[in-house]
Structure 1
Amino acid sequence: MTNDKKVWGNLISIVIPIKDEEPNILPLADEIEEVFSDVKWNWECLWVDDGSVDGSVQVLRKLSNDRPRHRVISFAANAGQSAALWCGCRAAKGDIIATLDGDGQNDPHDIPKLVALVASGKCDMANGYRQNRKDNWVRRISSRIANGFRNAMTGKTVRDVGCSTRAFRKECVPYFLPFKGMHRFIPTLAMIYGFTIAEVPVNHRPRTRGKTKYSIWNRLWVGIFDTFGILWIRKRAFRVKLREDK
């Protein structure tokens, strides 16, 4: 388990995938800086641009140049949210990694309590679940169906696997397998490979800028299809622990 005293002096990485979120970037960056001005951790924010075609790349590059805690990875073409999270987590320098969506609906003020829970050694991953979701009824229903099917097939993991507000030890990252749709199964993969998970209620906000990229077609049916692959992994996965010499 993570040593609490060690973590306070080490780095916390916040990973944020971005796809055409130009109006949300600077307000979210300002919020993150406000939140972390009140905590004692060192931190960085790693923005992963997933082939945006609006002005997101230009905003991110200026942000990175003006504020050195912010780093940017930019894809030449759209590769998907899973690819953005996978690359961002692997490039993160922190001992604990936190994730947020780039649309402003996740509240950065929830990150410190999730990080603190992981840092305390009580769990390897702290996964948020959204209270009073602000999405429309199509997104809520499709998410509920997909989440229920996922848990029924792969074994119960968390109540809201679609929530991107989470924190976890960097040791979890090698077990996030690189496939499209991976972002929907991060808690499931962590549990399959023996990591412990805690669930924490988090705030959820309405989208006030930009347009959603999700519909029932790319949220419900794709998630259900991917579940069969995760079921195979669950049955075939192994994790080796070396014997400690005394």
Structure 2
Amino acid sequence: MQSNSSLSVVIPVFNEEDNLRPLMDQIRSALAPLGRPWEAVFVDDCSTDRSLAVIRELAAADPEHVRYAAFAANRGQSAAFAAGFAAARHDLVVTIDADLQNDPADIPLLLELIDQGYDMACGLRARRRDSFMKRIASKIGNFVRTRMTGKTVTDTGCSLKIMRADMARRMPVFKGMHRFLPNLMLWQGARVAERPVNHRPRVAGKSKYGTLDRAISGGYDLLGVRWLRARYIQYEIKEKN
């Protein structure tokens, strides 16, 4: 990947109206100095607050850099990421949460890994700003996920990641996909690296998941991904006309 690769920041949104304007300001501050083409792609997952109205206003104010898609019904974070990957117009996709816990200022740090030749750069939350129970659940989940699905990264739960857009679009789409993005990249032969990033406490809005909800859905997803890993087909085209 060339060192001047362009970026599409994909942001799933569900009821985050108070976070969207500051998030966009922080993304702009992080990316504008890089001198690369970039865009922010918001995917509204049928929010019930004013999130979509705020996104429309952001897009109207800066159509060069802000685009969006809005679901007709709530379909979840994985579907939102997949829609964002499909809509992305640039070489790289950056995934980030809309809740401001990820810090857009860390995007250039992860981009350095891509410029070094990696296909995916993942954030590692060195200092989690979540509850004790959520941190413990995350550690257990990461351990079990690695044992059941093979090699992955230390912190799969950190949404801040950068990856090649062409490889992101080749991923199979399923509920819970967002929890396994490093696995799905590694299965394609991607070179994957991690780097410590900032993690901030939530200051507005509410978390969309409880610890028990994550455990149940995550366990169900693990069984499916283990099956998928055993049946995954990877191929390369030698010649075509």
Q: Is the pair's TM-score, using the shorter chain for normalization, greater than 0.5? A: yes
Structure 2, gaps ≥5 residues long: none
Could you report, residue by residue, the CA deviation over 1:165-196 in whole angstroms, capped at 9, with x for unpaired residues? 01001121233221111100110111122111
Percent of aligned pairs with the same residue?
44
C-alpha separation in 1, matches of 2:206 and 2:132: 16
Residues 57 and 74 in structure 1, CA contact (< 8 A), matched pair in contact too = yes
Question: Within 5 Å, which residues of 2 pair with 1:223-238?
Answer: 223-238=218-233
Q: In the alignment, what sits opposite 2:192? A: 197
Question: Within 5 Å, which residues of 2 pair with 1:1-246?
Answer: 2-4=1-3, 8=4, 10-68=5-63, 69-121=65-117, 123-243=118-238
**Aligned pairs, how many?**
239
Residues 92 and 162 in structure 2, CA contact (< 8 A), matched pair in contact too = yes
Residues 193 and 237 in structure 1, CA contact (< 8 A), matched pair in contact too = no
C-alpha separation in 1, matches of 2:26 and 2:99: 13
Normalised TM-score (structure 2): 0.95
Could you report, residue by residue, the CA deviation over 1:118-152 in whole angstroms, capped at 9, with x for unpaired residues? 1332x110011101100112211111111111101
Residues 16 and 205 in structure 2, CA contact (< 8 A), matched pair in contact too = yes
Could you tell me how far 1:229 is from its partner in structure 2?
1.1
Task: For residue 59 of structure 1, give the secondary structure of its aligned residue in structure 2.
Answer: helix
- Which letter maps to 1:3? Q
Task: For residue 158 of structure 1, give the secondary structure of its aligned residue in structure 2.
Answer: coil
Could you report, residue by residue, the CA deviation over 1:90-128 in whole angstroms, capped at 9, with x for unpaired residues? 11011011110000000001111212321332x110011
- Which letter maps to 1:117? L
Could you tell me how far 1:3 is from its partner in structure 2?
2.7
Residues 85 and 169 in structure 2, CA contact (< 8 A), matched pair in contact too = no
Of the structure 1 ranges 171-180 and 11-20, higher mean CA displacement relative to structure 2 is found in 171-180
C-alpha separation in 1, matches of 2:109 and 2:86: 23
- Which letter maps to 1:51? C
Structure 1, gaps ≥5 residues long: none
Could you tell me how far 1:238 is from its partner in structure 2?
2.2
C-alpha separation in 2, matches of 1:85 and 1:243: 30
Could you tell me how far 1:205 is from its partner in structure 2?
0.3
Normalised TM-score (structure 1): 0.93
C-alpha separation in 1, matches of 2:29 and 2:239: 44
